[in-house]
Structure 1
Amino acid sequence: MSLGDENEAAASGGYGGTGQTRTRLPDRTGETRRGAGRSPSRSLVTVVGVIVLLIAAIAFANRGGDDSSSRTDTGNKPEAAPTAPTGTKPVGSGFARDEQGVQSAAANYAVALGSAEMFNKARRDAVLQSLITPSRVSYFETKLDQAYSPAFNKNVGLNEDGSTPAGYTFVSRTSPIGTKVTESNNGATVEVWCSGLLGLAGENSTNPVTNSWFTITMKLEWTDGGWKIVTHSQKEGPTPVPGDDRASSADDMAKAVEEYGGFTYAR
């Protein structure tokens, strides 16, 4: 598979509808999105969160995602660590230059796009350098610097510098549900159906953790031995009918985020 054209919208054809998505997950904290009917500020949070997540995922993926990675304990908040595989891993390091490889890459990029780490400029810049195709890095840096402004951070409940207020737990995670390739001419355009969590857990939080559903479309090209993001977009849904589950308390939600690490290897 080679470099794709510059169309951001996914075209029909190619590998569309091929196979099922398999989920394989070593652990890490993730994030993003809002559902329909939210206020404009919440919608902005969703869009920015997705962009952020997408970028971080590539970095994690390019680190290899090897099952032999060591685990680092940092108190109550779990760091990325390997989990026992549930099947044959697609590749030993990085993502293969084929249909399965590009879908795996896209799924993992979506996970990283929802990472709470993207709210830290230093980490965000490092991720962009690793995950975006070289000719687009400057563009992404400019756009994200504008998006992650002090006003934006305050709007999602964080401090102006992107740090979490004392007594609260910031949640920003994305979980891929499935993937499909919709275009394969000179590269690949992949759609990733996702569920996301975003909000501030804690007593008296005015931005409680909520769930949303969305589909990320990203165009990738093969550069320097790996898949790199060229463009991406997001749309709402498909969204299932809500269940009858009772919402957990702020304390229970914060505890869950601290005890259950997010995934860094998603397919």
Structure 2
Amino acid sequence: MKKSFLILGIIAFGFTSCKNDTEKQTEITPIDSTVVQIDEHNAKSSLDYTGTYKGNLPCADCETIETTISLKENSYTKETVYKGKSKEVFKETGNYSWNEAGNTITLLNSEAPNQYFVGENVLFHLDANGKRTEGDLASNYQLSKIEITEVVPNPKEEVKTKEAAKVELKNSKWRLVKLNGKTIQKSKDAKREYGITFNTDGRFSAFAGCNNMAGSYELREEVSRVVFSKVASTMMACEDMLTEQEFAKVLEIVDNYNFDGKTLKLNKARMAPLAEFEIIK
């Protein structure tokens, strides 16, 4: 009889132990919701994010903020121009940091909002709360990656070009051959060449079909910059004034030029040439 009770007790103890072990095995370890889950395949580790990004960001008191950001391994360079307000280029350099998720950078030397979400060949400028702008305005807050081809300068050619500019551009006459990408066809009835003349005293004169135009110009030859100002013209009314109006508009907005002594191109930033000329000998 005692042996029976002893056997029953051992069996009961065995069931109890198995039950406890099962309960221990099925316990669930709680997850700390404050821990950031890191994706190994993030922008920092998976994208070729270094390079130059450019775009126009919204501006409260100007037309737009032309923004260029160049990212290196740990540092950045940022250039901004407040279009319609100033031509001055504001430049800053510094380091940037990544967030824990590896998808957003913060420009440490820049005023807030200074965070950018890094995408495939694009930077998304985040708001003051670190959020992306959604909806129809989302594209206004993007900087797209651009390709920059580095040209190794030839010192001899550079000297030659500068000498030509100093000698010829300030005392030269040019025939207009292209305007906004369109070839200029001289009218059979035209008695004068369409084009522009640079005088040595910083004045210029121009003609494009109807009225005489004149004004001042300023060259910064070391950086191939040109600015036309104080432009005035006669007030005749002609049958076709479209070319003249387009030409006058180009003179208002161009800010740089390409010149080799035989051809002259007037440009706006890195856009395609707005006006192209050949020298009149």
TM-score, with structure 1 as normaliser? 0.25
| Larger fraction in strand | 2
TM-score, with structure 2 as normaliser? 0.24
> Whose radius of gyration is greater, 1 or 2?
2
